[in-house]
Chains A and B, each alone.
Chain A
Amino acid sequence: MQLHSDRPIAVDVRDAVKVYGDFTALKRVSLSIHDNEFFTLLGPSGCGKTTLLRMIAGFEDVTEGSIALFGEPIAALPPHKRPVNTVFQNYALFPHMTVLDNVGFGLEMLGRSKSEARKRAGEVLDMVQLSQFSSRKPSQLSGGQQQRVALARALAPQPKVLLLDEPLSALDLKLRKAMQLELKHLQRETGITFIFVTHDQEEALTMSDRIAVMSAGELQQLGDAREIYERPKNRFVADFIGDTNLIEVTVDAVAEGQAKCHLGGGHALICDAVEGVKAGDKVHMSMRPERLFLSEEPIAAEGFRGTVRENIFIGTDITTIVALNEGPDFTIRASNSSRGNSRVFDIGAEVVVNMEQGAGRLLTD
């Protein structure tokens, strides 16, 4: 977000490569994370998120490239000398210590007296609403409580950068949503830079200032939530973030920032041109289901005729699948409300699929 771009760079990853034996887990990843930013690494399982986080924390060495913290290269610093703390994917709470001592551990290691560490630990536990559990052992807590202890433990020494590796993945949906908000507030209050790892795209969209979408060890796209959702760069990002219709189109002409294309069945449409796409290319187009709507009769020249195949009720929305008379199937989502231009049709009804202005997005690969 522009909000952050004028702040100093907290973590600077330059051309980082990580090789395990003959397997390359990270392939030249470069990104700059600003101070005070809520930054999310998003990607499917095995794409290298944890690997990148562990390299920043110092548990894995960097095969090639470099990582700097506030301008200082940190390759030579062992983990215990880096001003970053981690909330581990599996919490890794010390089983033989009380909750209070777990949270105070980092402060003690920084040279505070035991009583001072305990006092501060108590305050942090207050912040995550766990003060009544401070004398328990971690095994006597629920998963969600343990998660909050792990968070408190990492926050207590007031690191410059906090690394969070899928800290909410073990929680149920309700608690998870509550924790998402709590984390977001905490980040704002403390001003600590958060690097948050998740494979849940919805979580990423709700919480982050900026998101780095990764796949198979490569950075696919970097941007804020809107940018990534509305202007995905490639097929992977469009598909991974939210639902979309990925339709193969042929570009007929490109002029004045507009591209004229047609679909399989010959339906013509106009959309914004993107860099790297020229006349004659066969590329994919992403159309978000909620930006399509149905009507009985054509509204504009671009409508596609088809037949309703299925209606799926998902609570807030109704998803309709329409088979075009000629061409691919489309998924359309209408809000479950009587307002707006969304109408629901019976199965078998003849309808026209319409696009909102600018709903089609050309993808380069």
Chain B
Amino acid sequence: MAGGASTGGSSQSETFAPARYWLLLPSWVTLTILVLAPVSMMMGYSFLTKEFRGGVIWEFSLSAYDQFFFDRGLFGDDPPVLQWTYISIFWRSIWQAGVATLMSLVIGFPTAYFIATRPEKERAIWVFLVTIPYWVNLLIRTVSMKFLLRDQGPLNDLLVGSGLLSEPLTIVNTNFAVQLGLFYSYLPFMVLPIYAAAERYNFALSEAAADLYATRWTVLRRILLPSVKPGIVAGCILVFVPSLGSFLAPDLLGGAKNFMIGSLIEEQFKGNAGNWPFGAAASMILLTLVMVILLISARQQAKGGK
């Protein structure tokens, strides 16, 4: 943040040099309170010893991380073997979030393109329509979705009643239900950045490509997609990252078998059964994973932009 201000226009930053640090103070305070402090606290907790009724004992320990990655047998004195339980939960989370992101992209891209090609006056209305469902609380939306999708719900009533299916389709408590839930939770985060990029797209480029014998599919692949790529990358990050840590959709729609990291972490801080250091360690691992993904995509972006 400070870097951005100090590398700005040279003459301006000369003029404001004495005031610069004071003017940046609010940003620093906000960042410290909202980002730096919580993350440091979490990191600190992840290296402490657990107390049995929740909470921690102030004693340095690596056991939270150890528990995450290694299995030392029932009494903790066997030689360590790699522990797959949590890693597989992580892996499932990545997979679920990835599928949800892909679904959002497949539905979100045409939606965004559709809005961007409307007459200018209509676009604001379409954007508004896309966001309307999101005025309702996420919990209520997810519960309603469960109600709609369950075996005796309206969707199955319709499918069976119309004779399309003879037996109700089981959707709730499957991986697919979780993917659907995540997709629906975060769809606007895909639509809006792509729309913003597509709106700036010069549609004369599509005409120029068609004029040079490119089919519609080639125009999409070679001209439109590269031009709106920053919007697509932003949308994918904005859907993938919260999906990865989400616990509402997996809890409500996925049931016990389809556990994700978000639920795992949430459980460690709930009631007496929790394990705070373990929850903090899992959060840190999740955070690291997300950072790595962001860094890789930033790298890619920088390379593509040249």
Contacts and interface: CB of A to CB of B under 8 A. Distances in A.
Contact of A80 (B202, B215, B223, B304): B215
Interface of A: 57-59, 78-81, 84-86, 88, 90, 92-96, 105-106, 109-110, 153-154, 157
A21 to B, nearest CB: 12
Contacts of A105: 209, 212, 214, 222
A106 B212 contact: yes
B74 to A, nearest CB: 59
27 contacts: A58-B210, A59-B207, A79-B207, A79-B210, A79-B211, A80-B210, A80-B213, A80-B215, A81-B213, A84-B211, A85-B211, A86-B207, A88-B208, A92-B202, A92-B205, A92-B207, A93-B208, A94-B208, A94-B209, A94-B223, A96-B226, A96-B227, A96-B304, A105-B222, A106-B212, A109-B212, A153-B212
Contacts of A153: 212
Contacts of A96: 226-227, 304
B218 interface: yes
A280 B209 CA distance: 58
B132 interface: no
Nearest to B305: A96
A59 B209 CA distance: 12
Interface string B292-306: 000000000000100
Interface residues of B, number: 18
B35 interface: no
Contacts, number: 57
A92 B207 CA distance: 9
Contacts of A80: 210-215
Nearest to B207: A59
B204 interface: yes
A291 B72 CA distance: 108
Residue of B207, B212, B215 contacting most chain A CB atoms (<10 Å): B212
A57 B214 CA distance: 14
B272 to A, nearest CB: 57
A333 B209 CA distance: 49
Given A79-B210, A157-B212, A157-B213, 16 more contacts: A57-B211, A59-B210, A80-B212, A85-B211, A85-B212, A88-B208, A92-B205, A94-B205, A94-B208, A94-B209, A95-B205, A105-B212, A105-B214, A109-B212, A154-B211, A154-B212
Contacts of B304: 96
Contacts of A109: 209, 212-214, 218
A82 B88 CA distance: 55
B222 to A, nearest CB: 8
Contacts of B205: 92, 94-95
Contact of B204 (A58, A81, A88): A88
Contacts of B215: 80
Nearest to A54: B207
A81 to B, nearest CB: 8
Residue of B202, B213, B223, B227 contacting most chain A CB atoms (<10 Å): B213
Contacts of B202: 92
B227 A95 contact: yes
Closest 4 CB pairs of A and B: A106-B212, A109-B213, A92-B208, A92-B204
